[in-house]
Amino acid sequence: MFKKRLFTPGPTPVPESILLKMAQPIIHHRNPEFKEIFAELNKNIKYLFQTENDVFTLTSSGTGAMEASVANVIDENEKAIFVNGGKFGERWGQLIKTFGGIPIEVKKNWGEPPTTDEIVELIKANPDVKAIYLTHSETSSGTVTDVKEIAKAVHEISDALIIVDGITSVGAIELKMDEWDLDIVLTGSQKGLMIPPGLAFIAVSERAWKKINQTENRTFYLSLKKAKKALESGDTPWTPAITLVIGANEALKMIKNEGIENIWQRHFRLAEGIRIGVKALGLNLLSKNPSNAITAVLMPEGIEFKKFNETLKYEFGITVAGGQENYKGKLFRISHLGYYDELDMISMISALEFTLKKVGYKFEPASGVSAIQNYFLLNL
Amino acid sequence: MFKKRLFTPGPTPVPESILLKMAQPIIHHRNPEFKEIFAELNKNIKYLFQTENDVFTLTSSGTGAMEASVANVIDENEKAIFVNGGKFGERWGQLIKTFGGIPIEVKKNWGEPPTTDEIVELIKANPDVKAIYLTHSETSSGTVTDVKEIAKAVHEISDALIIVDGITSVGAIELKMDEWDLDIVLTGSQKGLMIPPGLAFIAVSERAWKKINQTENRTFYLSLKKAKKALESGDTPWTPAITLVIGANEALKMIKNEGIENIWQRHFRLAEGIRIGVKALGLNLLSKNPSNAITAVLMPEGIEFKKFNETLKYEFGITVAGGQENYKGKLFRISHLGYYDELDMISMISALEFTLKKVGYKFEPASGVSAIQNYFLLNL
């Protein structure tokens, strides 16, 4: 017997009940049976995003929804600000460039979120900027950006749109699209939504529609105008990933049942438990403003990542994510995203201790497990 | 008890063994376990396309792969010929326009394929044309185009690329990418591949790469250059639809096991049986060159499509596809695509007779079923 446990920030574990639901015989996407499911999804996905705006379902990875947020919004030679504090923030810049926009970069060290002031200053220097592209929870560094405060400050001085990559934040971290006055928010299916990858969801405000309607169409498959027209008759413009839509609908019922505030609280508790556990073992976090979706832990001095990771995976069955780009081999990342509870996080710290012992890292035995256990006991 | 049977040209029925395989706990796409699966898929998908070229896996519907075949290939103001003999041929024109190319249309009545001569004449009149966009099996009309002959004639007089929408032909109708010297061929997962929608596959020749490498990147998510770079390390540029990749790999093993020539033969037999069965009932086909993937049958005089379709679906459990655009309400389409055998087609004709009787169409009882049964008996 060898049990495997996934602690990666996408894919995240899929509830067994959803796996079995998706394994039912396939139905046609123009059948009334599917249309009912899609209508229910379209209602409940608004709850997830905390919005009354339409949320569109794309058959793509999260990057496809990022592309939709640029290709439908930024015309050639229009300016857009983006924050590059990690691999996914950097991607906004690549997309703006691909579609002929002028990217204005806010460069941050990995683990440091942008400040509201630096964005406000940039807008004052570039009053013709059309949109600010933010990463709510930067998956590569486990860092959260205060999109609420930034949106408020930007809307006071500018018409620029606030466009938020919520790929690892939606369904994990507090995010209220309408209350915070965000213009576009997007996520992927294999994150807080707890289903396999292959779908992306994108919510679009009235303010964003005004800009989209003035912008030349530079995508066909990811056209938001086509998605909107199709949604008016409860449809998608192209054949959707039917089984994943069925899975997403099931997941959204679970989310509604638990309550979004409770889910945000649960993610905070699980992430806080992990942070307390790893710190008790003498390990350090990369982030100065850690995300409750994912914790990036720096590799301890003298321990080789490859050996650590293989021990964790092949001896103790746990898959975590490694570091990306400059942080390759220098950190590991533990996901709290989606279908996890306290006991999963205890298992994670327990296996981390097993692994650290095997690779020769010195620590007080059971100090990590005690710390996270005590934290959970105090927060029952 | 009420059994449902799907006879639509995508989604097509998914073998139960594949549904259960996809319902296994999800694995991470950077895990060696997944990489092995993806490597096996990448080998077997070449067999499906009958090619030694790389075949790229996109997380999108078939339309995403059509977009990739235009956005990576046609620069602004470059000419491209496309054949519009149905809804999907028409889509090539929309895509060429979206990406700034100059579409040259070959307009055909639905059900009539283009002739090689008319394409050759157009190329002679437009020697600077960069690509010919064809639809191998036009799903809206059930019509097959002789891409083999067209490719041969075009390559003799021009450097233009032959780009083939094989969405309902790959895995159903004879198609030999390398032997026929095709440049780009694409398909979707919910067709001959027998898995749910959400993946598309696109094969690219050396000749096509030469053009792609000279063409400006006008897509990021669907960039073939990025897909190629990722595939060199056995990867995809973005998180793939993991469960669907696992399903596709299982389906390809089934396909290899049956043998592609046997599969083409089976599709011919099933389609021919249906054609014989519906004709015996006094019904007519739309197509002058019918596809073995799908049969479009004209509604008989005086029978209302809505009533016919609801009877077939809600009394006899069978979902077929209706007509599209100008043929809405005027025809129905029976799929032979993928996981079907002779007994499925007998069931289809049987339920068709039940339905025709209920809606008041006059025919010799059991004449359809006898005709298809006799045909199958003679071809055991």
**Quick check: A241 and B241 CB within 8 A?**
yes
The domain of B273 spans 5-11+259-378
Residues B274 and B353 in one domain: yes
Domain boundary among A258, A289, A321: A258
Cα–Cα nearest to B225, from B237, B238, B241: B237
Mutate to test the interface with A, among B2, B20, B30, B60 (most CBs of A within 10 A): B60
**Quick check: B220 and A67 CB within 8 A?**
yes
Residues A322 and A173 in one domain: no
Taking contacts as CB-CB distances below 8 angstroms, the residues of chain B near A19 are 23-26
User: Is the Cβ–Cβ distance between B166 and B23 less than 8 Å?
Assistant: no
Over residues B320-349, mean pLDDT:
97
Asked whether the predicted pLDDT for residue A364 surpasses 90, the reply is yes
Residues A173 and A230 in one domain: yes
What's the confidence (pLDDT) of residue A127?
97
Q: Calculate what percentage of chain B has a pLDDT beyond 70.
A: 100
Cα–Cα nearest to A348, from A377, A307, A320: A320
Confidence of residue A221 (pLDDT cuts 50, 70, 90): very high
Residues A368 and A228 in one domain: no
Cα–Cα nearest to B166, from B43, B264, B235: B264
Distance of CA B378 to the CA centre of its chain: 29
Confidence of residue B375 (pLDDT cuts 50, 70, 90): very high
Asked whether the predicted pLDDT for residue A271 surpasses 90, the reply is yes
Average pLDDT score over chain A: 97
Residues B247 and B285 in one domain: no
Asked whether the predicted pLDDT for residue B256 surpasses 90, the reply is yes
Q: Is the peptide bond before A11 cis (omega within 30 degrees of 0)?
A: yes
Residues A121 and A57 in one domain: yes
Domain boundary among A258, A277, A297: A258
Q: Minimal Cα distance from A100: which residue of B?
A: B218
Could you tell me which residues come within 8 angstroms of residue B51 by beta carbon, excluding any fewer than 6 positions away?
A: B177, B178, B185, B203, B205
What's the confidence (pLDDT) of residue B34?
97
User: How many angstroms away from the CA of B66 is the closest CA of chain A?
Assistant: 9
User: How many angstroms away from the CA of B222 is the closest CA of chain A?
Assistant: 8
Return the residue matching tokens 């073939």. B224
> Tokens in use for B71?
């956005």
Residues B203 and B104 in one domain: yes
Return the residue matching tokens 């020769």. A360
What's the confidence (pLDDT) of residue A217?
85
Domain boundary among B204, B233, B258: B258
**Quick check: A319 and B31 CB within 8 A?**
yes
**Quick check: B13 and A26 CB within 8 A?**
yes
Residues A319 and A269 in one domain: yes
Residue B203 maps to which CATH number?
3.40.640.10
Q: Specify the DSSP class assigned to residue B256.
A: H
Q: For B98, which of A27, A217, A241 is closest by C-beta distance?
A: A217
Q: Minimal Cα distance from A88: which residue of B?
A: B238
Asked whether the predicted pLDDT for residue B175 surpasses 90, the reply is yes
**Quick check: B242 and A98 CB within 8 A?**
no
Residues A195 and A278 in one domain: no
Residue B275 maps to which CATH number?
3.90.1150.10
Residues B252 and B263 in one domain: no
Taking contacts as CB-CB distances below 8 angstroms, the residues of chain B near A25 are 4, 6, 13-14, 19
Distance CA A270, CA A277 (A): 10
How many domains would you assign to chain B? 2
Distance CA B107, CA B356 (A): 34
Confidence of residue A65 (pLDDT cuts 50, 70, 90): very high
**Quick check: B26 and A14 CB within 8 A?**
yes
A·B CB contacts under 8 A: 171
Q: Minimal Cα distance from A309: which residue of B?
A: B31
Each residue of B360-369: pLDDT tens digit? 999 999 999 9
**Quick check: B26 and A4 CB within 8 A?**
no
Q: What is the ipTM of this complex?
A: 0.91
What's the confidence (pLDDT) of residue B380?
86
Over residues A235-239, mean pLDDT:
97
pTM comes to 0.94
Residues A282 and A151 in one domain: no
**Quick check: B240 and A61 CB within 8 A?**
yes
Asked whether the predicted pLDDT for residue A233 surpasses 90, the reply is yes
> Tokens in use for A289?
């403003």
User: How many angstroms away from the CA of A311 is the closest CA of chain B?
Assistant: 14
Over residues A277-298, mean pLDDT:
98
User: Is the Cβ–Cβ distance between A133 and A99 less than 8 Å?
Assistant: no
Over residues B63-71, mean pLDDT:
98
Q: For A238, which of B6, B23, B63 is closest by C-beta distance?
A: B63
Distance CA A215, CA A71 (A): 9
Taking contacts as CB-CB distances below 8 angstroms, the residues of chain A near B196 are 26, 241-244
How close are the terminal C-alpha atoms of chain B, in Å?
A: 32
Average pLDDT score over chain B: 97
Report the 10 Å Cβ neighbour count for A254: 15
Residues A271 and A176 in one domain: no
Asked whether the predicted pLDDT for residue A96 surpasses 90, the reply is yes
What's the confidence (pLDDT) of residue B217?
85
User: Is the Cβ–Cβ distance between A99 and A70 less than 8 Å?
Assistant: yes
**Quick check: B25 and A19 CB within 8 A?**
yes
